[in-house]
A = this chain, B = another copy of it.
Amino acid sequence: MGIADDAVEVRAHGWRTLAALHGLIESELERALSASVDLSVVEYTVLDALNRQDGWHMRMQQLARATALSPSATTRLVNRLEDRALLTRVLCADDRRGIYTELTHAGRALYEKARPIHDETLERVLADAQAQPELAPVVEALHAIALPVAAG
């Protein structure tokens, strides 16, 4: 078997490994978050994204990109969170097609409660994953990614 064929195998195997690690992390986060604060991973992702824009609005489309969801799924996701009074829709004045979302007090409070649980779970799962020879290299790579801006 030649070098080119090996490359195909390596990519396929790498993809399976990535998918395995992703599934592992997501299911653990799902369990931890839904048990403690009744949030799914995507719901937490929304709160996290909104919080990271501190005080700033976010369009539906940006939310869709941040969660890797379709527009329709994003609409319903925002509906669920709005029904729980965790965020509010804000009509935008300069483009009346656009809709901004922002966290409510309750939303920020729930996020503050969920965040340590999220972070601890992530730390634990990554440590577990790093102990598996199969997954370790990918976990290492995650650590090596530089933060987008100065995080201090």
CB of B152 within 8 A of CB of A1, answer: yes
For the complex, give the distance between the alpha carbons of A126 and B143 in Å. Answer: 20
Comparing A17-25, A97-105, A106-114, the segment that makes contact with chain B is A17-25
Tell me if A71 is interfacial: C-beta within 8 Å of chain B. no
Taking CB as reference atom, which chain B residue is nearest A2? B152
For the complex, give the distance between the alpha carbons of A13 and B13 in Å. Answer: 24
Q: Main secondary structure on chain A at its contact with chain B?
A: helix
Taking CB as reference atom, which chain B residue is nearest A27? B68
For the complex, give the distance between the alpha carbons of A38 and B11 in Å. Answer: 22
For the complex, give the distance between the alpha carbons of A144 and B147 in Å. Answer: 22
Tell me if A9 is interfacial: C-beta within 8 Å of chain B. yes
For the complex, give the distance between the alpha carbons of A149 and B17 in Å. Answer: 15
Comparing A54-62, A76-84, A85-93, A133-141, the segment that makes contact with chain B is A133-141
Contact of A147 among B9, B126, B143 (CB under 8 A): B9
A142 and B138 in contact (CB under 8 A), knowing A11-B122, A22-B19, A122-B11? Answer: yes
Taking CB as reference atom, which chain B residue is nearest A151? B9
Give the residues in chain B near A11, CB-CB below 8 Å: 119, 122-123, 126, 142-143
| A interface, CB within 8 angstroms of B | 1, 6, 8-15, 17-23, 25-27, 48, 68, 118-119, 122-123, 126, 134, 137-138, 140-145, 147-148, 151-152
